[in-house]
């Protein structure tokens, strides 16, 4: 099953990549006042059980994909 893990910087944590992109977009004249930059992972998990797929997504997010000190994550199955 396909599982998508969305990793985003936590509120209040500095996000230098987002800030740099915000500056570039402002320089190009786009009306964008905030940018947050995160990562997205699409996993193919070898199971037909959505609960098991979600469990694998959450566990790999917590152990490998995200740094929970500074990032939050969201797991979407299917």
Enter the tokens of residue 58.
């959450």
Q: What is the rounded distance in angstroms from the CA atom of residue 34 to the CA atom of residue 21?
A: 9
Footprint on residues 36-75 left by its own copies (CB under 8 A): 36-47, 56, 59-60, 63-65
The residue count for binding its own copies (CB under 8 A) is: 32
6 binds its own copies (CB under 8 A): yes
CB of 60 to its own copies, least distance (A): 6
Q: Which of 10, 13, 24, 67 binds its own copies (CB under 8 A)?
A: 24
Q: What is the rounded distance in angstroms from the CA atom of residue 38 to the CA atom of residue 7?
A: 6
CA 54, chain centre distance (Å): 15
């Amino acid at each position: 099953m396909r599982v998508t893990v969305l990793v985003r910087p936590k509120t209040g944590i500095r996000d230098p990549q987002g800030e740099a992109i915000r500056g570039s977009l402002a320089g190009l004249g786009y009306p964008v006042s905030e940018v947050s930059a995160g990562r997205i992972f699409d996993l193919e998990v070898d199971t037909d059980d959505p609960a098991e797929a979600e469990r694998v997504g959450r566990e790999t997010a917590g152990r490998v994909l995200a740094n929970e000190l500074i990032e939050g994550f969201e797991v979407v199955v299917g």
